[in-house]
Copies of this chain bind each other. A is one copy, B any other.
Amino acid sequence: MTAFTTSTCPIPISDYPHVLLAHGGGGRLSHMLFEKMLRPTFANAALDMRHDGAVLDLAAAGGDGRLAFSTDSYVVRPLEFPGGDIGKLAIHGTINDLAMCGAQPLALSVALILEEGFPMESLWRVAQSLQHAAAAAGVPIATGDTKVVERGKGDGVYINTSGVGIIAHGVDVAPQRVQVGDRILLSGTIADHGIAVMSVREGLDFETTICSDTAALHTLVRAMLGAGGSDVHVMRDPTRGGVASALNEIAEAAQVGIQLVEANIPVRDEVRGACEILGFDPLYVANEGKCIAIVAPSAAAAVLAAMRAHPLGGEATDIGEVVADHAGRVYLRSRVGGQRVVDMLSGEQLPRIC
């Protein structure tokens, strides 16, 4: 920061003098931080694709084919929750980001930021969980790093995983490929992960334990691309900010409207009940094992059939379509027939959910 002139911060300092939790929440403030500060500053073709990861052409480097490259840090609390833990989440999350670029994962990295005093046994559990999830997904943890910060400067363990994957010939997924008339497919029930984490955090006791849906989606995606090929226009895993934020990002990037049918969006009864108690709209709650695909109408039936034939897509449904009206916005036709805007999440709904 010494060798150049500091220009004016593009985030209005008068409104946001400090970083807020919501800047990491996956909603409007996260989006503003990325779109106003980070994307213009780091400007390059890969970032401009606005994928969950970068797509790199190896030809430019004298190689062959296309590589997907993605990174995510995991700060979820508590470290263990029904259906998963931080290790599983860290492996699945980065595999899923690669899969959403249309890639099959090749290798992962694991970087740990540990707080001095973190129990060694807990670290051992985290390490085993990471390996267990990676081995189950068939993806090696090929490189890593460990840093330790003083007591009080961290929170036990933070994990970054990054990953690389190979994109097969003929696969071409990007928000820019979305067309009016495309169908919007969702691989299953929504809001399970966020509610599972919040339930333990808030000490809520439901009749049925709500489990996180955390899962590695690369084999589901392989089946979908096998069925739909280049008719699969874009894919996204609706994590922080939920289905609503993921679709808003696509609508904005592709400059199309998105029309959803509420009755077609599957939500478990117990999750719906918990959402009502906690005051959350399931459309905004994080998922960690679900995939949205926007697909040419001619291929939608075949892709949906491939999803339903896969263990992670048994409840897949068609939840709506891409429309020409209202470019950049998402609309929902409610069960009672009304129509409402589904905006990007404002403020922080669920801190440290992943």
Contact = CB atoms under 8 A, between A and B. Distances in A.
Interface stretch (A50-58, A255-263, A305-313, A318-326): A50-58
Interface of A: 1-4, 6-7, 9-11, 13, 16-25, 30, 33-34, 37-38, 41-42, 44-47, 51, 53-54, 56, 58, 61-65, 67, 69-75, 80, 83-85, 87-88, 104, 106-107, 109-121, 123-132, 134, 140-150, 152-155, 158, 160, 162, 164, 166, 168, 351-352
Contacts of A143: 46-47, 51, 53-54, 69-71
A73 B160 contact: yes
A142 B63 CA distance: 18
A155 B149 contact: yes
Given A3-B132, A160-B73, A124 B37 contact: yes
In the complex, the 3 A-B pairs of residues with the closest C-beta atoms, listed nearest first: A24-B148, A54-B142, A162-B162
A118 B152 CA distance: 16
A9, A25, A45, A142 — most chain B CB neighbours (10 Å): A142
* Copies per complex of this chain: 2
A121 B13 contact: yes
Given A24-B148, A58-B65, A73-B113, 10 more contacts: A13-B120, A18-B118, A38-B127, A42-B110, A61-B104, A63-B166, A69-B107, A73-B160, A149-B155, A164-B164
Contact of A116 (B20, B45, B83, B148): B20
A107 B33 CA distance: 22
Contacts of A46: 107, 140, 142-143
A115 B19 contact: yes
A142 B33 CA distance: 16
B121 A9 contact: yes
Contact of A148 (B7, B23, B44, B123): B23
A212 to B, nearest CB: 10
A80 to B, nearest CB: 6
